[in-house]
Structures are given as C-alpha cells and as structure tokens.
Chains A and B, each alone.
Chain A
C-alpha cells in the first residue's frame, strides 16, 4: 500500500515526488486542516488586507478597494495631534513600569517555591498563587473598585486605622500606573512562575549533590547553580515582554479608565477604540493601530537580534 510506504518512509523520493505522493495519500489530512486554514484566512489575513484602509479615506459604501488613497495623511495627523505624546508616554510608561517590577517577580517566586522541602506546603503554595490567574479582568477591576473605594474600601480602612487620610485612588492619575502594575503582579505572578518551575525541574540533581559534597550551602547553590540554569528561559520571556511593550492590554486599562484619571490612563488601544468604534473614524484609527503593531514588530525583531548577538539565546 502506498500510504504505508509514505508513512513508514520506506522509499526515498525526490522532493516533488514526495509532495505528489503526500497529496495523493494524505488527502484526508488536507481535508482535515482545510477548515482551519479557511478560519485563519478569514479571521486573521482578511483583516490584515483591510489594514490598507490606513492609507485611504475609507467609506463603507466604496469598500476597501474603491476608497481613495491618501498616503500617510492619517499617520501624519496622528503624529501631529496633541494626543500622540501623551498616548505614547502612557503606553510605554505602563509597560516599562510593569516590565521592571513585574518581570523578576515570577522568577523570585519560583526560586522560593523550589527551595521548599515540604511537598504539601509546596503544592498548596502553587495552587494558591495560580488561582488569581483565573479571575476575569472585569472581576479583578471590580475588586480594585471595591477595595480602593474612598472611605469604605479595605485599603482606605487600613490607612484610616493607622491615622492616615483616605485616598480616592481610582480617580487619581498619579496612582493609575502603580495600581495597574501591582494588581497585575498579584494576579499573574503565580501563573508566570509555572514556566520557571518547569525549567527548575529540568536541572540535573547531581549538580546539587556535587555542590553539597563540596560544602556549598543553600544560598551558594541557589546563586551558582539554580540561577544560571534559569537564564535562558528568562531571556526568552524577556524578549517576548519587550516585544509587546506597545501592546498594553486593552481590557484592564479600559475598565480602570474614568474621566478623572484619563491623563494617565489613555493608551493607544483605548484611543483606537474610542476614535474608531465609538467615533467611526475608521481610517484614522486603523492607522493608529497599524503604527502600534509595526512598532511592536520592530521591537521584537530588534531585541531578538540583540540577544542573539550577546548570547546564544533567541526566539528564532
């Protein structure tokens, strides 16, 4: 049977020969993957084609092709608008703050959990720290709203108990980034530590035994064995994080946003939503969105290149 031979790789074929054989014998596999291909074309590649409207004055009647070209008009308008610098500094401000404070947190947590000898304690620690990951963004922001409420919220009750003044956190622009970043640490540190826990479990135990024989204490083992073994994983995640510096998640910012904290909370994605969906300025918003994703892609490629040059860890 031909399909046997192909699957078992019994015969050596030239490349074209192989493709013809594969098409003939594995037609059912192609049929299987076809709906998924169609899905990607409709839901991912069609919108990518639609990005063309960023360079046009789109109107729904004429469609993407029929609308007139305007070149970089929308981009220039955006760069010149008074919002540009504010949006950029808010977007980058939030993600850099998050990167600096949030990136080491899961590494530290994983190291702490890894050093726990008691199996039950370790397991419980994992279960507890993963849990907030499963809370939805709406509930997360809802909890913030309740806990940070002026006068009656838990945090303000604590502040007042120590004789301080109640602070209306959620309407103060200067508090926005801190609340955003630290609530995110609370929610995602445990979950992000899983990947480091996986990396830790791959470390050769003999190294620790050898170090113990040589008289190394726990701190020395942590410093000279465990930490270096985590660096490749950490670098990959760092690349991914830097690559998404411009991609501050829409949902949480949008939910935490209100008229009073706008100067600190307006980021590119919420701006695109307001102008594009609510204001129906399709071409302009598409241009802003495209600017965002192009910068993101450039960042990702650049950081990846730097890491490749500096060491031998990279995404591709």
Chain B
C-alpha cells in the first residue's frame, strides 16, 4: 500500500509474542511426529531408557524390515489399498451423479431431493438397525461393506453442487446446448473438465476417510483375509495381541518386548506415510473447498 506507516512499538511487541507463541505451537504439533520418526530408526533399548530426544540413537532399519516381513500388515495394506481406490472411485462417481442434476435450476424436484439427503445428516437409524439392514442385504464380511456405506457424503455433495453452481458460468452450459449437447455431454465435456479443484478436494477427503476407516471394519469384517490395515494396527498398537508372533519365536521374552516396541513406531510411519506425503500437494485446494462450503452451506 502507498501509505506505509512505521510500525509502532506495541506492534513490534505484538509480533514478537505472536511469532514465539506460534513457533511453540508448531513445536508441540511437530515433536510427537518427529519422535515417532526417530524412535522407529533407533535402538529400542535407548528409546525405552529415554536416551532418544532429537536424533536417532543406534541407527537401524530393522524395525522396517520386520514390518515389511509381517504377513498381517502386508495383507491389511493390500486390502486397504483396494478399498481406498475402489471406494474413492465409487464416491466420486456417485457424488457427481447427484451433484450435477441438483445444481441445475431447471431440475424439477431438486429441493425435495436435497431435503431428503440433508435430513440424513441430522438423523439416522443408529448402529443396530443399520447392522440388521446390512445383515439382510449380505454385507457382513463382504468387502463391499468397506466401499458402499458412505458412498455419498452429504456435506461433500453440497460442496460439489455449490461448486457447479457458483464456479462454472451457466452461460457455458447454455452454449453447449446450442451446440447440440445433451445433458450427459454437458456433464462430461463442460462440467467435469472445469471441476478439477473440487475433484481434488473430494479425492483427498474421501480417500483419507477410506484409508483410515476403522469402524465399519470392526463391526462388519471378521474374516482375517479381508481386514484392512487399521484393524491390524489396532492389534499391534493397542490391544497388543500379536506381539508374540511379531518379534520372532527364538528370541528371549525381553528381546521380544523390545522389538515389539520398536515395531510400533515403524508401523505408525508405514501406515501414515502415504497420506501425510500426499496431502501437502493438495493443500492449496482445501481453503477453496471450505470456502465454497462456507458461502453456501
């Protein structure tokens, strides 16, 4: 700006306090994550003794070797990949299929249908009736139970519909009609190519939800061959029922416990890395997504 006024003394104090407080916050957020990283590369005994603080001590990648040699983890990893890819694809297709008609002002009944969808945000059948329905349609222990429930998130649907309404000029659709496009051609040739930002937001929202999905698996999947990564993680990190097999049979009990400790850190890294690496690239779209929601929501 043209009139730059010299910072007053109180503003300088304000800035110093603000920068230091925020730095402190960042350290609090970051340190636990950093600690997991260094602990996973360290000698487990030093970690337990509290000798590891800033950098790995007794560097080794044995924990990772064990994680990748573990059959349960690898089966879970594979399943989760399948559920995430398939599930996100279904989510995207279904959300677009609903959002596009609802974004059209000449779509008769849009208000009623929208109300029907929105109502489910505030009221639902609850766990037991849902369980009975899934039982009836054969979703128990079926991999589709990891894909179909939540196929359309109402909040995401509203985001996408608002994007179609506010970010794509209606005149473009009119022009397409004049060029002889039917509705489906408008959707595939005009709308979708212009919707990359919102599709990126949807991919990360839905994708992360599938990657981290735990509840449906806990309730509906008991077949060991179908369980996703998060259930395996629960056994390793929290209920610790698999500790015995994890650390190999020939070592002493103490050694087993040590290895189990170290595996915990490595397994956290291995399971969270795909998401944590991917998200900074899509970060620029979040604000946009939230803003569309905030304006219309």
Contact = CB atoms under 8 A, between A and B. Distances in A.
A289 B30 contact: no
B227 interface: no
Contact of B214 (A137, A209, A293): A137
A35 B272 contact: no
B54 interface: no
B106 A22 contact: yes
A138 B276 contact: no
Nearest to A131: B276
Interface residues of A, number: 103
* A contact patch SS: helix
Interface stretch (B9-17, B192-200, B241-249): B9-17
Given A26-B104, A40-B117, A142-B268, A219 B29 contact: no
Interface in A30-44: 30, 32-33, 35-37, 39-40, 42-44
B50 A161 contact: yes
Contacts, number: 278
Interface stretch (A2-10, A82-90, A94-102, A305-313): A2-10
Contacts of A26: 101, 104, 106-108, 183
Interface residues of B, number: 94
Contacts of B105: 9
Interface in A120-158: 121, 124-132, 134-139, 141-143, 145-147, 152, 154, 157
A72 interface: no
B20 to A, nearest CB: 11
A93 interface: no
B25 A129 contact: yes
Nearest to A20: B108
B107 A29 contact: yes
B59 interface: no
A147 B47 CA distance: 11
A3 B290 CA distance: 34
Contacts of A128: 26, 29-30
A212 interface: yes
A32 B188 CA distance: 12
Interface of A: 1, 3-4, 6-9, 18-19, 22-23, 26, 28-30, 32-33, 35-37, 39-40, 42-51, 53, 60, 64, 109, 112-113, 115-117, 121, 124-132, 134-139, 141-143, 145-147, 152, 154, 157, 160-161, 186, 190, 194-195, 197-199, 201, 209, 212-213, 217-219, 233, 243, 250-251, 254-255, 269, 272-273, 276-277, 282, 285-286, 289-290, 292-293, 296-297, 300
Given A43-B130, A152-B47, 19 more contacts: A4-B177, A7-B177, A8-B174, A8-B177, A47-B133, A48-B129, A50-B133, A51-B126, A60-B132, A115-B18, A121-B19, A130-B279, A136-B230, A142-B237, A142-B264, A143-B36, A218-B10, A251-B214, A300-B122
